[in-house]
Amino acid sequence: MDWMRQCAAVIPCHNEAASIGEVVAGVRRHLSTVIVVDDGSEDRTAAAALQAGAAVIRLPRNCGKGAALRAGWQRAHADGFKWATNLDGDGQHRPEDIRAFLRCADETGALMIVGNRMHHAEAIPWLRRQVNRWMSRRLSARVGQPLPDSQCGFRLLHLPAWAGLHLKTDHFEIESEMLLAFVRAGYRVEFVPIQVIGAGPHSHIDPLKDTWRWLQWWRRQRRD
């Protein structure tokens, strides 16, 4: 697989001017095309990303991670890319780990590869770690296969497969919705160990609000 030509990086961002330039530069050592989706930032996120060599999509307001990812995937798909690597713009993911995702796709034929931080879970803030494990257990039971780190945002996905799934969530539920949709469609999903370096200088996750959104989404899935 010619990954440089077939894969684009998609990075959703909200007020990440301090870190996005370094993230883009790191990713461009492994993939030539980086698409940053500026999710209604109030700082210089877009300018910093452009300066580092990324293509930038600017959303007029803060729409949420799921909405930002969809905008980036749509752009990459329209531009002819077959794959997209997703990672966060706050510096919590190491671009050099992209190699592990690409190698896993080559070796297994999986259409989604997800980063797995659970080998060093103590580096994840305690509350987020417990919520992740709780959600992962429920999703694993639902699909009948282990999904050890269901909330990790560092992923590689096959864009033609994604395009047929019509994901709808706008916020952090997107991580769970993606997994459930790919597995239900019969696509192979794999996990690869990645470096664990915390959550960057700040996190946009609201433990109460985003957990409530996830529970609402989960209730809808259980009725299907």
CATH number of the domain enclosing 212 = 3.90.550.10
H or E segment to which residue 155 belongs: strand 155-158
The predicted-structure confidence for 180-190, as pLDDT tens digits, reads as follows 999 999 999 99
pLDDT score, position 220: 81
pTM reported for the whole predicted model: 0.91
Q: Who wins on pLDDT, 204 or 165?
A: 165
Judge whether residue 54 has pLDDT over 90: yes
pLDDT score, position 202: 53
Judge whether residue 161 has pLDDT over 60: yes
Q: Who wins on pLDDT, 189 or 135?
A: 189
Give the pLDDT band (50/70/90) at residue 222.
low
Tally the domains of the chain.
Answer: 1
The predicted-structure confidence for 75-125, as pLDDT tens digits, reads as follows 999 999 999 999 999 999 999 999 999 999 999 999 999 999 988 777 777
Domain residue limits at 128 = 3-223
What's the rounded mean pLDDT across residues 155-164?
98
Alpha-carbon distances of 193 from 119, 122, 152, rounded to whole Å:
7, 14, 11
Judge whether residue 172 has pLDDT over 50: yes
pLDDT score, position 12: 97
Top mean pLDDT of 35-49, 107-121, 200-214 is at 35-49
Judge whether residue 55 has pLDDT over 90: yes
pLDDT score, position 201: 46
Cα separation, 118 vs 133, in Å, equals 9
The residue type of 54 is A
| Cα atoms in the Cβ-side hemisphere of radius 13 Å centred on 148 | 14
Judge whether residue 178 has pLDDT over 80: yes
Cα separation, 16 vs 39, in Å, equals 10
- Asked if 117 and 149 count as a contact pair (C-beta separation under 8 A), the reply is yes
Judge whether residue 197 has pLDDT over 80: no
H or E segment to which residue 38 belongs: strand 33-39
